[in-house]
C-alpha cells in the first residue's frame, strides 16, 4: 500500500536536473512557502526577512490586491475591504456559514458558482477559491523570485479533517493560481516528515497543532522510518483566535466599548493578539486601548485562556482513545502552530502527555518544511526509497441504504490510498436503476452525515428483488479524493464518478452535474421507449380485463381464469417499473395465457352470429 516515499537527505540529483518544487503551508492565519536547497529544507523570506505571510488579502479593486503584512495593516484601517481566515470558507456551502464567526451575514452571498462569496465595502466580490488562489500566487512568486525559475510543482498542506469538498477547493485554488499540485498533504503528516527526518526516532508520537483558527491532533506510529497515522482528531473552530477573542472581551469591558461598535471590536482583537504574543516572552505589558490604560500580566491571560487550552486536551484524550493508545504509550509530542508558543499551552500539553513536547523546529515553519521535503521527492529530485508514509481518511465514507441509513464503506482513520468494495442488491422486482448517495460522517442516519454526491446506476437488467449484485467500490487516492464506482456484476453495467465538491450546491444541482457525465441522448431515447411500452401495457390490461368481464367465467375453467388474472396483475406491477424489456416480457406472458381464450371467444361469437340463421344464408 501506499505511499509517499522519501529518500535520504543530501542525495539530490545533478544540479542541471534539479527541478524547482516547493511546499506550501496554506494556513487559516498565516501561510509559508519552503523549498529544499542544497539538501536542506527551508522557508523563504520576503525582502524584509519575514517568512510568515499573513493569510490576509486587501482588495483595492477587482484585480488590484495585496497579500500578507500590508493587507493585515489595512485590517485596522479599512476592515471592510480586507479578507482574512478565508480557509474557513473553503469548500463550504452557504448553509455552513452560520458557524463561521469571522464573516458577518451581510458580507456573505451565494455567488454564481454556488460557493459563498464575500462582498467587500468597495463592492468587490470574491469567492474562497479566488482569495486562496491570490494567496498562493503571492507565495509562488516569492519562491520563483528567490529561486530564479518557475516552480515545477507544489505540495500544499491541508488540515487532516478537511473533507472532499475542502480538498478539491484547495486544488482548484492552486490551479487558478497556475500551480501544479504534486499532492495535498495532511498538515500533521507534514510535521511528522520534518521531524522524522531530523531525528529518525521510533515509537508513538502525537502531533499537537494549535494554529490561529484550528486545532489538530494526530497520533502517529513511527517504525523503521515508516510513519503510520493511527488516528486524527481536533476541532476546526478552536485556536489562537479564541485566545484573542477572550482577551479582547476583557479589553472591551475595561474600555466600556459599545456592544455594536464593530470598529472598536476589531481593534480590540488586534490589540489582544499583540498582548498575547508579547506575554509569551515577558511577564507583564502596558496596554493602551481606547480610553483604557492599564497593565496585563501573563498570569492574568493564562486565567482567561485556560478553558480553551483544556478543550484541546479533551480532544487529545478522545483521539488517543480512537487510536487505542494510552497516554503513557506516547513517546514524543510534536508542537506545531504559532499558538504552541504560548507557555501555558506547552505546560498543559506536557502535564497531559507526561513528556516535554518537541519544539526544535520552529512551530510556524515545521509544516511548510515537511511539505517542501515531500515536494522535493515527488518532483523527482530524490530516489524514492527509505521512508513510507501513511495518511488516514478523517471521516467515514459511506452510502445511503434503505430507510435513510448510512452504511460505512471506509471507516474513519483508514490509511490511504485505499479501495474498498461492498455488494448491494435491488429492493424491488425488476428494479433497473439504483440511486447511490455518497455520504461522509460517523452518524447512523444519512440526514446527520454530510452529503457528498448522488448518482445513479442505470440499465440493471430486470431481476427479482435481491438477485442483482451491485458492487460499489470506494477508492480514495493519496490526496484524499474519492472516486466511486458502481457495477452490476452479472451484466457488467457500470457507472463511475469522481466525487466533485458540492460547494453548497443543492442536491438537485449536484445530481444534474453528475448525471451529465452519463450519456444524455441514450437516456432520453430510453425514456421515450419506456413510455411507449407503458402505454402498450395499459392497453393490453384494459382489453383483456374487459374480455374477462364479458365472458371469461363462461368460456374458461377456474384454473385458466386465474392464470390470466395473475399474469395481468404481474404486468400491471411490471409496468410501474422502468424496464422496457420487463414490460415487454410481461405483455408476452399475458398474450400467451389468453391465446386460447381469444380463440374460444372468436368461436363463441361466430356461434352466436349463427344462432337462428340457416346455413344457406351465410
Joined together, the cell numbers standing for residue 404 give: 435513510
- Using a 10 angstrom Cβ sphere, with 0-12 exposed, 13-18 middle and 19 or more buried, the burial of residue 522 is exposed
211: contact with ligand ADP by CB under 6 A = yes
Q: Which stretch binds ligand ADP (CB under 6 A): 108-116, 132-140, 276-284, 426-434?
A: 276-284
Query: Catalytic: 496?
Result: no
Give the nearer residue to Mg ion in terms of CB position, either 340 or 432: 340
Distance CA 137, CA 129 (A): 12
Answer with the entry of ligand ADP, Mg ion, none that 544 interacts with (C-beta below 5 to 8 A by kind).
none
- Binding residues among 305-344 for Mg ion as defined by CB under 5 A: 337
479: contact with ligand ADP by CB under 6 A = no
Distance CA 218, CA 541 (A): 65
Residue 260 main-chain phi, psi, to 5 deg: -110, 20
Distance CA 242, CA 131 (A): 23
Quick one: how far is CA 102 from the chain centroid? 21
- Residue among 301, 378, 372 nearest 342 (CA): 301
213: contact with ligand ADP by CB under 6 A = yes
Smallest gap from residue 508 Cβ to ligand ADP (A): 35
Give the nearer residue to ligand ADP in terms of CB position, either 117 or 212: 212
Smallest gap from residue 187 Cβ to ligand ADP (A): 8
Joined together, the cell numbers standing for residue 168 give: 478539491
Q: Which stretch binds ligand ADP (CB under 6 A): 233-241, 254-262, 326-334, 454-462?
A: 233-241
Non-local (6+) Cβ contacts of 365 within 8 A are 32, 34, 43, 51
338: contact with ligand ADP by CB under 6 A = yes
Catalytic residue among 134, 163, 209, 487: 209
Distance CA 334, CA 444 (A): 34
Query: Catalytic: 524?
Result: no
Burial 371-408, CB ≥16 within 10 A → b, else e: bbbbbbbbbbbbeeebbbbbbbbbbbbbbbeeeeebbb
Smallest gap from residue 244 Cβ to ligand ADP (A): 6
* Radius of gyration over every alpha carbon of the chain, rounded to an integer in angstroms: 33
Give the nearer residue to ligand ADP in terms of CB position, either 28 or 426: 28
The residue from 212, 394, 462, 504 that contacts ligand ADP (CB under 6 A) is 212
- Residue among 191, 102, 170, 179 nearest 137 (CA): 179
27: contact with Mg ion by CB under 5 A = yes
Q: Cα torsion at 288, 294, 298, 303 (round to 10°)?
A: -110
Joined together, the cell numbers standing for residue 321 give: 482513545
Query: Catalytic: 328?
Result: no
Smallest gap from residue 364 Cβ to ligand ADP (A): 5
- Residue among 102, 363, 68, 78 nearest 245 (CA): 102
- Residue among 141, 159, 39 nearest 91 (CA): 159
Distance CA 180, CA 168 (A): 14
Smallest gap from residue 141 Cβ to Mg ion (A): 21
Answer with the entry of ligand ADP, Mg ion, none that 265 interacts with (C-beta below 5 to 8 A by kind).
none
441: contact with Mg ion by CB under 5 A = no
The residue from 91, 114, 116, 211 that contacts Mg ion (CB under 5 A) is 211
Residues that bind ligand ADP (rule: CB under 6 A) add up to a total of: 21
Q: Which stretch binds Mg ion (CB under 5 A): 208-216, 313-321, 355-363, 551-559?
A: 208-216
Query: Which three-class secondary structure state does DSSP give residue 35?
Result: strand
- The maximal CA–CA distance of the chain, rounded, in angstroms, is 130
235: contact with ligand ADP by CB under 6 A = no
Non-local (6+) Cβ contacts of 343 within 8 A are 280, 298
Answer with the entry of ligand ADP, Mg ion, none that 79 interacts with (C-beta below 5 to 8 A by kind).
none
The residue from 4, 21, 24, 27 that contacts ligand ADP (CB under 6 A) is 27
Q: Which stretch binds ligand ADP (CB under 6 A): 10-18, 96-104, 339-347, 457-465?
A: 339-347
- Binding residues among 236-265 for ligand ADP as defined by CB under 6 A: 239-241
- Binding residues among 364-403 for ligand ADP as defined by CB under 6 A: 364
68: contact with ligand ADP by CB under 6 A = no
Query: Catalytic: 187?
Result: yes
Q: Which stretch binds ligand ADP (CB under 6 A): 139-147, 271-279, 420-428, 495-503?
A: 271-279
Catalytic residue among 25, 163, 242, 364: 25
Catalytic residue among 130, 163, 164, 187: 187
Distance CA 23, CA 154 (A): 6
Query: Which three-class secondary structure state does DSSP give residue 225?
Result: coil
* Residues annotated as part of the active site: 25, 87, 187, 209
Task: Give the interface with ligand ADP as residue ranges (CB under 6 A).
Answer: 27-30, 211-214, 239-241, 273, 276-277, 280, 337-339, 341-342, 364
Task: Give the interface with Mg ion as residue ranges (CB under 5 A).
Answer: 27, 211, 337
Amino acid at each position: 500500500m501506499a505511499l509517499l516515499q522519501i529518500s535520504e537527505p543530501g542525495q539530490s540529483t545533478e544540479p542541471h536536473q534539479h527541478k524547482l518544487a516547493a511546499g506550501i503551508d496554506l494556513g487559516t492565519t498565516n501561510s509559508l512557502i519552503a523549498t529544499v536547497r542544497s539538501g536542506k529544507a527551508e522557508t523563504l523570506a520576503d525582502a524584509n526577512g519575514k517568512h510568515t505571510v499573513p493569510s490576509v488579502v486587501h482588495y483595492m479593486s477587482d484585480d488590484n490586491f495585496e497579500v500578507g503584512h500590508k493587507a493585515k495593516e489595512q485590517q485596522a484601517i479599512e476592515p471592510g475591504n480586507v479578507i482574512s481566515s478565508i480557509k474557513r470558507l473553503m469548500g463550504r456551502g452557504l448553509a455552513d456559514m452560520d458557524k463561521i464567526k469571522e464573516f458577518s451575514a451581510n458580507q456573505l452571498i451565494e455567488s454564481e458558482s454556488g460557493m459563498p462569496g464575500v462582498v467587500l465595502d468597495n463592492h468587490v466580490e470574491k469567492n474562497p477559491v479566488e482569495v486562496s488562489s491570490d494567496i498562493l500566487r503571492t507565495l509562488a512568486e516569492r519562491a520563483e523570485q528567490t529561486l530564479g525559475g518557475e516552480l515545477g510543482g507544489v505540495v500544499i498542506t491541508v488540515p487532516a479533517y478537511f473533507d472532499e469538498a475542502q480538498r478539491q477547493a484547495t486544488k482548484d485554488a492552486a490551479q487558478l493560481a497556475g500551480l501544479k499540485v504534486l499532492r495535498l498533504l495532511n498538515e500533521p503528516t507534514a510535521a511528522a516528515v520534518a521531524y522524522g527526518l531530523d531525528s529518525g526516532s521510533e515509537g508513538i508520537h502525537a502531533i499537537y497543532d494549535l494554529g490561529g483558527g484550528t486545532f489538530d491532533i494526530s497520533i502517529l506510529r513511527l517504525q523503521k522510518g515508516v510513519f503510520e497515522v493511527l488516528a486524527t482528531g481536533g476541532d476546526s473552530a478552536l485556536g489562537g483566535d479564541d485566545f484573542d477573542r477572550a482577551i479582547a472581551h476583557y479589553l472591551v469591558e475595561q474600555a466600556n466599548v459599545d456592544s455594536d461598535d464593530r470598529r472598536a471590536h476589531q481593534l480590540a482583537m488586534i490589540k489582544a493578539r499583540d498582548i498575547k504574543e508579547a506575554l509569551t516572552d515577558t511577564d507583564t505589558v502596558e496596554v493602551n486601548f481606547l480610553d483604557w490604560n492599564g497593565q496585563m500580566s501573563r498570569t492574568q491571560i493564562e486565567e482567561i485562556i485556560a478553558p480553551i487550552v483544556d478543550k484541546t486536551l479533551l480532544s487529545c484524550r478522545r483521539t488517543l482513545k480512537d487510536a487505542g493508545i494510552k497516554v503513557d504509550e506516547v513517546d514524543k509530542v510534536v508542537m506545531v502552530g504559532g499558538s504552541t508558543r504560548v507557555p501555558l499551552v506547552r505546560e498543559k500539553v506536557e502535564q497531559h502527555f507526561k513528556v516535554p513536547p518537541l519544539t526544535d523546529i520552529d512551530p510556524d515553519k515545521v509544516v511548510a518544511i515537511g511539505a517542501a521535503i515531500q515536494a522535493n521527492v515527488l518532483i523527482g529530485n530524490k530516489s524514492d526509497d527509505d521512508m513510507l508514509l501513511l495518511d488516514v481518511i478523517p471521516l467515514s465514507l459511506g452510502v445511503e441504504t434503505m430507510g435513510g441509513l448510512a452504511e460505512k464503506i471506509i471507516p474513519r482513520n483508514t490509511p490511504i490510498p485505499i479501495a474498498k468494495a461492498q455488494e448491494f442488491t435491488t429492493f424491488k422486482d425488476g428494479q433497473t436503476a439504483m440511486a447511490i448517495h455518497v455520504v461522509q460522517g460517523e452518524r447512523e442516519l444519512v440526514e446527520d452525515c454530510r452529503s457528498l454526491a448522488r448518482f445513479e446506476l442505470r440499465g440493471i437488467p430486470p431481476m427479482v428483488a435481491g438477485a442483482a449484485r451491485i458492487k460499489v467500490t470506494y477508492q480514495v487516492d493519496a490526496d484524499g479524493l474519492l472516486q466511486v464506482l458502481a457495477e452490476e456484476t452479472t451484466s457488467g453495467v457500470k457507472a463511475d464518478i469522481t466525487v466533485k465538491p458540492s460547494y453548497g450546491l443543492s442536491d438537485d444541482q449536484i445530481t444534474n452535474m453528475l448525471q451529465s457525465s452519463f450519456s444524455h441522448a441514450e437516456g432520453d431515447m430510453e425514456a421515450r421507449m419506456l413510455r411507449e411500452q407503458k402505454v402498450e401495457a395499459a392497453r393490453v390490461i384494459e382489453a383483456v380485463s374487459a374480455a374477462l368481464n364479458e365472458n371469461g367465467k363462461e368460456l374458461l375453467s377456474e384454473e385458466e381464469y386465474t392464470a390470466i388474472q395473475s399474469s395481468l396483475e404481474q404486468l400491471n406491477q411490471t409496468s410501474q417499473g422502468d424496464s422496457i424489456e420487463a414490460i415487454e416480457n410481461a405483455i408476452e406472458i399475458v398474450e400467451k395465457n389468453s391465446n386460447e381464450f381469444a380463440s374460444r371467444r372468436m368461436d363463441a361469437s361466430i356461434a352466436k352470429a349463427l344462432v337462428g340463421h340457416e346455413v344457406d344464408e351465410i
